[in-house]
């Protein structure tokens, strides 16, 4: 049950931070990065496989970032622009 709570917490954090950038692709890319880092970290802390956590977190972050609108949360231009 603790692992599930950590995954939900990581996904909630990803949801809050996934909307970096002004275009859909920027938000999906930044969401994937944030999700991968969060997923790997959550998996490492809970004793899971960090690679699996990064893959799942990255996929969730990309989906959430791609599905958000610019007006939902705008943290400015991404670092790669």
Number of structural domains (the chain) is 1
| Residue 6 within a domain | no
Whether 3 maps to a domain, the answer reads no
Question: Is residue 5 domain-resident?
Answer: no
What is the value of pTM for the model shown? Answer: 0.64
| Span 18-26, average pLDDT | 70
- Per-residue pLDDT reduced to its tens digit, 38-65: 899 889 888 889 999 999 999 999 998 8
Own/partner contacts of 67-76, CB < 8 Å, gap of 24 or more, are: 68/18, 68/19, 68/27, 68/31, 69/19, 70/19, 70/22, 70/27, 72/19, 73/16, 73/17, 73/18, 73/19, 74/19, 74/22, 75/17, 75/19, 75/20, 76/20
Average pLDDT, whole number, for the chain? 78
Query: Domain limits at 49?
Result: 12-67
Establish if 57 belongs to a structural domain: yes
Residue bearing the bigger pLDDT, 44 or 10: 44
């Amino acid at each position: 049950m603790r692992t599930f709570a950590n995954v939900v917490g990581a996904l909630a954090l990803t949801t809050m931070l996934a909307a970096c950038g002004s275009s859909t692709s920027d938000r999906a890319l930044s969401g994937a990065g944030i999700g991968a880092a969060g997923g790997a970290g959550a998996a490492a802390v809970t004793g899971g496989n960090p690679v699996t956590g990064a893959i799942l977190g990255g996929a969730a972050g990309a989906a959430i970032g791609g599905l958000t609108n610019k007006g939902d949360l705008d943290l400015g231009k991404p670092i790669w622009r």
